[in-house]
């Protein structure tokens, strides 16, 4: 595509005064230059992230396709079992606050199989964990939290290089969405506590645990990446 630039001065060597390539556009138009604009194709723009929403839906679509593999279901089953086992070692600070590491296999499922795989492992793992070791009444809101956690990990980590900033961002977003918003909301509904009171009781602990949890998650995902587990897990049977 070409556009006119009447205010630029064409040099004999075919460059504008600003160093841009140009070409004269006919006789008697020495002071008017026609600048060649090269626009990247749609596919290149998509790969560069110009259309993040398109990439988002594409990630969900690829994740759903990956989940149809027998190998994927088998690996997700192992991660689900690991989540249940790690859930047994959760430290109950109070009825309103728990510290655990069952998020690690959920985040791994999100990185390996995307938002669909991560969300399913999180949700099913929450239900199974409740029946294996119930801690209070069952509430579907916590299952929704588990699904959203795996979904968010999948959106930010699926088919992407493992980077410290990306892993920290994923963990921070899950902490904000689940630990600071949804969990206090469900706890206030269950126990009749004020929402702000529940949030204030969790702020200090979650802020301290955030870099620790992100560091452990980064170490785990780096091990999976260096061990080529990602490529092996995505091979269809």
Q: Is residue 72 domain-shared with residue 111, that is, in the same domain?
A: yes
Q: Is residue 63 domain-shared with residue 123, that is, in the same domain?
A: yes
Q: Is residue 26 domain-shared with residue 142, that is, in the same domain?
A: no
> Would you state the structure tokens that stand for residue 148, as one six-digit string?
């959203």
pLDDT value of residue 94: 61
Which residues, in sequence order, are bridge partners of residue 99?
91
The domain in which residue 15 lies consists of 1-39
- CB-CB contact of 172 with 217 (8 Å): no
pLDDT value of residue 170: 95
Could you tell me if residue 45 is inside a domain?
no
> Would you state the structure tokens that stand for residue 138, as one six-digit string?
């069952």
Domain of 220: which CATH number?
A: 1.10.1760.20
pTM attached to this predicted model: 0.71
Mean pLDDT of the chain: 77
pLDDT in tens, 114-169: 999 999 999 999 999 989 888 778 889 999 999 999 999 999 999 888 999 999 99
pLDDT value of residue 232: 61
Cα gap 131→124, rounded to integer Å: 11
Helix (H, G, I), strand (E, B) or coil at 159: coil
Place of tokens 């795996």: 150
Could you tell me if residue 46 is inside a domain?
no
Count up the domains in the chain and report the number.
Answer: 2
Could you tell me if residue 44 is inside a domain?
no
Q: Is residue 88 domain-shared with residue 22, that is, in the same domain?
A: no
């Amino acid at each position: 595509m070409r556009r006119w630039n009447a205010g630029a001065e064409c040099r004999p060597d075919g460059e504008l005064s600003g160093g841009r390539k140009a070409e004269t556009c006919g006789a008697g138009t020495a002071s008017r230059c026609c600048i060649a604009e090269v626009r990247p194709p749609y596919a290149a723009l998509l790969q560069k992230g110009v259309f993040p929403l398109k990439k988002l839906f594409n990630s969900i679509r690829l994740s759903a396709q990956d989940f149809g593999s027998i190998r994927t279901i088998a690996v997700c089953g192992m991660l689900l079992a690991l989540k249940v086992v790690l859930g047994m070692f959760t430290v109950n600070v109070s009825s309103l606050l728990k510290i655990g590491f069952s998020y690690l296999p959920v985040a791994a499922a999100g990185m390996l199989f995307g938002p669909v795989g991560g969300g399913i492992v999180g949700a099913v793992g929450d239900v199974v964990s409740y029946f294996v070791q119930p801690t209070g009444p069952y509430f579907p809101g916590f299952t929704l939290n588990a699904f959203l956690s795996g979904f968010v990990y999948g959106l930010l980590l699926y088919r992407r290089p493992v980077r410290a900033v990306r892993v920290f961002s994923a963990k921070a977003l899950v902490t904000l969405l689940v630990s600071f918003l949804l969990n206090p909301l469900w706890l206030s509904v269950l126990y009749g506590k004020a929402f702000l009171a529940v949030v204030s009781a969790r702020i200090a602990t979650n802020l301290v645990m955030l870099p620790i949890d992100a560091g452990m998650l980064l170490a785990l995902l780096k091990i999976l990446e260096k061990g080529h587990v990602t490529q092996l897990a995505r091979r269809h049977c």
